[in-house]
Structure 1
Amino acid sequence: MRIYRYFILMLMVPLLWGTPSCSLEEELYSTPTPEAIRTETDATAVVNGMYARFNDAAAFKFQGMLMLMLMADDLYSDSGSEYGPWGQRTLSGVNTASFWNQLYLTIGHANDVIKLMDDRQFSAEFEKRIYGEAYFIRAFCYYYLVRMYGGVPLRLEAVDINSNFYLPRSSVDQVYTQIFEDLTKASIRLPLAKSIAAAELGRASKGAAQAFMAQASLTYGNQLSLKGQDPTLHYSNAITYADSVITSGQYELLNFADLFDITKETNAYNEVIFGVRFQTDNQNRAQPAAGSEFALRFMAPATVGVTGRPNTSGAANIKPMHWFADFYRTGDYALGTGNTAILDFRNEVSFYLRGKNAAGNTVVMYPDTTLRSNTARVAFPLVGKYKDPGGKDERNHGNDLFIIRFAEMYLIKAEAENELRGPTPVAITAFNEVRKRAQRANGTPRAVPVLLPDNNSGNLTKAQFRLKIFHERGLELVGEGQRWFDLVRMQHPTDPSKTMYEYQFKEELPQTKYPKTLPVWRPNVAPPRWSNSNAVYAPALNVSVPKFLLFPVPTSELLQNPSIGLRNQNIGW
């Protein structure tokens, strides 16, 4: 896919619109123009270039990854440097420009593709699919923008010299209206997933458009509910579209371990509905490469054989909080305690529990207290979903970022049904589908996670079941960039005007039962153990509300766009 990035420069004006601070004096040679795009092969290259924007360092490869992974309550970073503003909660509008700009560049690219289809004549089936992909990508970008920044400028046409370069912020409602319109157009034009060739994995399908329609409907319904408005239509739509995907016959729940096995990644797309594809890049290295960095960022320096780094170890820039790892060793997710507990199989996949160091000795990660000779210990948990020992270099791996999976369709259906009617048999059955897959483990069934009785004999309230769904999503989707979105959209357990973010950050985690000093290994006590458990990385609590319910609009946008201006920054920033 990397070679198609050259086609991204097909029009100069849209690029300059997306990056207003770029110099106008640079002369571009041999830049493809719309007139040069004449065949379906040419147009396909342009479309592939549109997708390639997502694996740029400004987007999901690095800068976007930091925003999505480090502002929730499950992951943290004490690495400093580029991680510091997120880990220490000291970010500003200077830090949020890269992802904003890349999403708008991609929107500009999608608008160019739509205009290209308007101006050219290709076969009907080809045009239908390309239009669908352009509408899908535009909706996808606006969906990220509206959730992260609130109301944003809506640009829906290709830019030319007569365009208005300074659009005001549209309302959140207007942006969601456009997202739903584009996803509807995409859904009726895109092919079914199973008709897409393996070589085209990563391109949008009908199921992808419907899956995002389900998720966006749920999210918008959540936002209406938080404002005291009627969310009924959107919760109903969430169920309708989730059911469309569930009954489509295009997807299935796979063995959870196989999903994140780099050698089985192509097959993973039997469950993955849409993902950002990364491929080990033999032409480039490090940040410019089309490969991903997740193996480097999530794995620890003490472990080997997990990345393509020269010494084959990770950097542990992004780590699960200790409380988060401890939580999923209790309650519905474990039988017994300590090292002999039977855990939810997803725990063994989502957290990297044991490895080897360069000396060949066993390395165990927090919270393991196993006593062995020649055992090294890592004092923090690790996300285990991203391992690629065959990567070309430290920032050049083949691990994809799965944006939305089939499992989430069941959780969306369960949540929307619960919001409408409480924990009905329909809601609980959908919820249990995800837990049943986890129980099947790696071929040996387990009794955890515990299934909920379909008739709700445990008498869960709507708020209690919502919290169950929140926790289930936490384990199922850890390290996949969903947690912050869940925190800011889901309702507080007891106050319908507040978010789950406020519950976790302002009420739950500040309690003394969550130590603010991270644990260390104590080998000289009997028995040897960690100094404490359930710890929270203290700087992560340095937040205020409503400030941290949105990211700040980039300072560069406020300064350069007079239709927005410095006075129209998000609250608190």
Structure 2
Amino acid sequence: MKTKFILIFFGLSLVFASCEDVYTEEPSAFLAPEDLNSEGGALALLKGAYAGLQLRSYYQQDFLMQAEVRSEYMMARGSWADVGRYDLVARSRSRINDAWDDMYNAVNRANTVIATVPDLDIDEALKTQFVAEAKALRGLHYFNIVRSWGAVPLRLEPLESLDNIALGKSNVDAIYDQIILDLTDAINSNALPATFTGGDQGRLGLHAVKAILAHVHLTLGNYAESAAVSKEVIDSGEFQLEPDLATVFSPEDGATHSGEMLSVVWVREGSSGMRLLSFMHNSSLGYSSAGWRVLLGNLDAPVITSQWDDTDLRKNFSLYNTPEEVAVLSSSIPMLFKKYIDSNGAGQNAHGNNQSIYRYADILTMYAWADAMANGTPSADAYEALNQVRRRGYGVDITTPDAGIDYTGLSQDEFMDAVWNERAWEFILEGKRWYDMKLMPKAKAIGLINGANLGEFFEDDKDWLYPIPQQEIDNNDELTNADQNPGY
């Protein structure tokens, strides 16, 4: 079975809670000081930091679900329906609060490694590597936090008591500066292997950290820097696009592929598996251990209806389309997704499909995006990067030009539309579309929202960011209601 590198947390974790006690100890499997001061103890502490990615309200559910449902191609049923309409009710705000809690929990775990490991009596090379990994994790967490909430408290030391809870917001620029510093420190440490494989799958290798940095620069509009970092990964020759989509998203133990960069590793065990499948499927088809039919395609979104070619293999792979599948659809549930299937899941929270955070298709499409924006026109290299992803989508040889499939001769605006469409088709149900929309020209993104008939509740001054949890404002003496994001 899959090695559970990131599933067990050893050591003390301070967990953000929604009750009056803002932080509570998580007492699972504490290490005695003498155990910590060993290579095994340090590795256990690092495992705890990686386990932050798997927290219920981070990549297992709420952070990922909120991002996906806010994309214009996605609707939802039940208690998630309001999110897809940009009309947050109390239940959805509660889930956003939970995501904040778990994401800062993950930050605290990384901070604990960064603060603790340098003082341990262990091999210096391992210390450098573990701290580099923890800095990369912290950079990833804050990247997810800042692009979701904007200006927030920037905690860089472990919280060990209630005495140091008060901390004001840092501005967005300062947070991004720290993110870039953390990622650059990790890259320049010369301590990270190119990739991690086998039982270490799920750890941040050098090229995975570069993928995050490329994405950060792209988000900031540092297009030349983003293109340069992406090109380093492309030129490394470490990755290729896996031709078989089923292999990319396989739930089987040890599943990996030639484009694997960073994934949350899930297993079919207890509550240690992917939960997204339970929200996607109709239970009668046996594609998952539960089928709540929560995530619905929006038939008013052209990107997944009229613009998505029926001969694109990703469309048939990602959407219900066989007669058996179509038979379970209805006017109230018009489209369901099947990108992730695990017929042998051990429960609603225990499917084996890994959740990709970055894979080689990310690097190729980010490079195409950044290079075109940096140059003001798509270059031959930008076309080739985008066309490789497109060719894989159509099932033809990835490296051989194909006149019937390849993009060519596009204007800058047409090329950028092609980049955004390819990323929508490639990364559906991977939590990327909403954040891509936030990087588009605002009129373009609002046009997509309105064109998908989702503009009734959308407020331009409010809905680009989530509300800061009220309990954070109430319990942090350095915050007041004036620090709340606009419109909330």
The two structures have a TM-score, normalised by structure 2, of 0.89
Query: Matched residues in 2 for 1:499 and 1:402: separation?
Result: 30
Residue equivalent to 1:516 = none
Stretches of structure 1 that go unaligned for 5 or more consecutive residues are 222-233, 335-341, 355-361, 366-374, 492-497, 511-537
Specify which of 396, 418, 422 is matched with residue 468 of structure 1.
Answer: 418
Per-residue deviation, residues 218-262 of structure 1 (Å, max 9, x unmatched)? 0011xxxxxxxxxxxx21110111011111122110023321232
Query: Aligned ranges for residues 192-211 of structure 1 at < 5 Å?
Result: 192-194=193-195, 196-211=196-211
> Cα offset for 1:212?
0.6
Specify which of 362, 374, 382 is matched with residue 427 of structure 1.
Answer: 382
CA contact (8 A) 1:242 1:409 kept: yes
Question: SS in structure 2 opposite 1:15?
Answer: strand
CA contact (8 A) 2:272 2:349 kept: no
Residue equivalent to 1:86 = 83
Residues 109/95 of structure 1: CA separation in 2 closer, same or farther (3 Å cut): same
Question: SS in structure 1 opposite 2:137?
Answer: helix
Question: SS in structure 2 opposite 1:402?
Answer: strand
Residue equivalent to 1:384 = 338
Specify which of 297, 317, 324 is matched with residue 349 of structure 1.
Answer: 317
CA RMSD of aligned residues (A): 2.8
CA contact (8 A) 1:7 1:32 kept: no
Query: Matched residues in 2 for 1:279 and 1:134: separation?
Result: 23
Per-residue deviation, residues 154-198 of structure 1 (Å, max 9, x unmatched)? 11123345963211111111111101110011123353344x241
1:266 pairs with 2:255: yes
Residues 499/568 of structure 1: CA separation in 2 closer, same or farther (3 Å cut): farther
Residue equivalent to 1:551 = 466
1:307 pairs with 2:288: yes
> Cα offset for 1:141?
0.5
Corresponding letter in the other structure for 2:425: L
Query: Matched residues in 2 for 1:484 and 1:205: separation?
Result: 26
1:106 pairs with 2:88: no
Residue equivalent to 2:487 = 572
Residues 257/446 of structure 1: CA separation in 2 closer, same or farther (3 Å cut): farther
Residue equivalent to 1:563 = 478
Query: Matched residues in 2 for 1:300 and 1:448: separation?
Result: 39
Query: Matched residues in 2 for 1:447 and 1:382: separation?
Result: 31
Residue equivalent to 1:291 = 273
Residue equivalent to 1:363 = 324
Query: Matched residues in 2 for 1:449 and 1:487: separation?
Result: 28
CA contact (8 A) 1:40 1:122 kept: yes
Query: Matched residues in 1 for 2:443 and 2:340: separation?
Result: 30
1:505 pairs with 2:449: yes
1:438 pairs with 2:426: no
Residues 327/192 of structure 1: CA separation in 2 closer, same or farther (3 Å cut): same
Corresponding letter in the other structure for 2:242: L
Corresponding letter in the other structure for 1:433: Q
> Cα offset for 1:330?
4.4
Residues 561/377 of structure 1: CA separation in 2 closer, same or farther (3 Å cut): closer
> Cα offset for 1:34?
4.7
Query: Aligned ranges for residues 93-172 of structure 1 at < 5 Å?
Result: 93-160=93-160, 164-172=164-172
Corresponding letter in the other structure for 1:263: E
CA contact (8 A) 2:251 2:351 kept: no
Stretches of structure 2 that go unaligned for 5 or more consecutive residues are none
Question: SS in structure 1 opposite 2:324?
Answer: strand
CA contact (8 A) 1:70 1:76 kept: yes
> Cα offset for 1:266?
2.2
Query: Matched residues in 1 for 2:154 and 2:59: separation?
Result: 22
Residues 547/441 of structure 1: CA separation in 2 closer, same or farther (3 Å cut): same
Specify which of 227, 230, 254 is matched with residue 242 of structure 2.
Answer: 254
> Cα offset for 1:327?
4.1
Computing the radius of gyration from Cα coordinates, the structure with the larger value is: 1
Per-residue deviation, residues 346-385 of structure 1 (Å, max 9, x unmatched)? 111122322xxxxxxx5242xxxxxxxxx66555222221
Question: SS in structure 1 opposite 2:358?
Answer: strand
Residue equivalent to 1:275 = 263
The two structures have a TM-score, normalised by structure 1, of 0.77
Residues 34/98 of structure 1: CA separation in 2 closer, same or farther (3 Å cut): farther
Identity %: 24
Corresponding letter in the other structure for 1:475: W
CA contact (8 A) 1:438 1:449 kept: no
Query: Matched residues in 2 for 1:572 and 1:98: separation?
Result: 20
Residue equivalent to 1:414 = 368
Query: Matched residues in 2 for 1:145 and 1:3: separation?
Result: 24
CA contact (8 A) 2:249 2:354 kept: no
CA contact (8 A) 1:439 1:447 kept: no
Residues 27/60 of structure 1: CA separation in 2 closer, same or farther (3 Å cut): closer
Query: Matched residues in 2 for 1:75 and 1:557: separation?
Result: 30
Query: Matched residues in 2 for 1:432 and 1:247: separation?
Result: 17
Residue equivalent to 2:295 = 318
1:245 pairs with 2:233: yes
Query: Matched residues in 2 for 1:567 and 1:481: separation?
Result: 30
Query: Matched residues in 1 for 2:404 and 2:358: separation?
Result: 22
CA contact (8 A) 2:5 2:47 kept: no
Residue equivalent to 1:73 = 72
Residue equivalent to 1:231 = none
Corresponding letter in the other structure for 1:291: G
Corresponding letter in the other structure for 1:397: H
Per-residue deviation, residues 320-355 of structure 1 (Å, max 9, x unmatched)? 21234x644645x53xxxxxxx5111111122322x
Query: Matched residues in 2 for 1:77 and 1:435: separation?
Result: 28
Query: Matched residues in 2 for 1:76 and 1:300: separation?
Result: 15
Query: Matched residues in 2 for 1:24 and 1:435: separation?
Result: 47
Corresponding letter in the other structure for 1:509: A
Question: SS in structure 2 opposite 1:503?
Answer: helix
Corresponding letter in the other structure for 2:449: F
Query: Matched residues in 2 for 1:17 and 1:410: separation?
Result: 37
Question: Which range moved further: 51-60 or 161-170?
Answer: 161-170
Per-residue deviation, residues 535-570 of structure 1 (Å, max 9, x unmatched)? xxx5x7421112111111111111111312111111
CA contact (8 A) 1:4 1:46 kept: no
Query: Matched residues in 2 for 1:448 and 1:71: separation?
Result: 35
Query: Matched residues in 2 for 1:138 and 1:503: separation?
Result: 34
